[in-house]
Amino acid sequence: MNVFSRPTPEAQGLGMTSQRARDRLIARLKEEGIADRRVLDVLTRLPRHLFVEPALESRAYEDTALPIGHGQTISQPWVVARMTEALIEAKIPAKVLEIGTGSGYQAAVLAALCGTVYTVERIESLLREARKRFRKLGIENIRSKNDDGRVGWPEFAPYDAIILTAAGEEIDAALFAQLAPDGVLVAPVGPPGAQRLLSYRREGEAWKAQMLGQVSFVPLLGGVA
């Protein structure tokens, strides 16, 4: 599961993509409240510069979202860290469903910590590039498909955790139906400019949300592109 202990020279990086640049990012994340050592360790070792376009590699270890094409972004490292913390807070999930593969960075972070990651991406070309990155890094516990993420991936439900990397006005009932009774769902919810990062857990017969912070994500769209 831990696939980053022996990085290649390309993964190690040079200059603004070096381990020193990653360490500066980790120091900043700690200052901003990220405390889970497991998450910080993965972000230290995972080469984020391999998940962005070559022209943006020098900015890979800034704490900011970056464009990846098709109107999509690779999430800000703080957001990735905070969502991952919330996902593994109670237990390490054996099965995670991710809606919105994007660059593949969030899936790769989860793959280093969890059992199997099932990730769905509606934009086929983004998914092809993400799969190439997974192969390059030797990640073998990610399963992916090109589909409308709003319907989830019922074939392998229930999931111990579900994570959304795009924001809708609300969470589709189909996703809650695929979550284990003791599972957790982490997602940005709300319209542009007023999105909240929420963590949902079951209380009795209802799913109750905990506020994790204010965020800004691309919208959750349907269909396949």
Tell me: cis bond preceding 158? Omega within 30 of 0 counts: yes
At residue 132, φ and ψ (nearest 5 deg) are: -60, -40
- Amino acid found at 41: D
**Residue 199 appears among annotated catalytic residues:** no
Q: Please identify which residue in the block is written with the tokens 């899936």.
A: 107
Distance in angstroms (rounded) separating the CA atoms of residues 33 and 35: 6
Options 5, 18, 75, 103, the catalytic residue:
75
For tokens 């190690």, name the residue. Answer: 12
CA atoms of 110 and 151, how far apart (whole Å): 21
Q: What is the per-residue DSSP string for 68-115?
A: EETTEEEPPHHHHHHHHHHHHSSS--SEEEEE--TTSHHHHHHHTTSS
Which of 186, 191, 6 shows the shortest CA–CA distance to 80? 186
**Dist CA 89 CA 91 (whole Å):** 6
Active site residues: 75
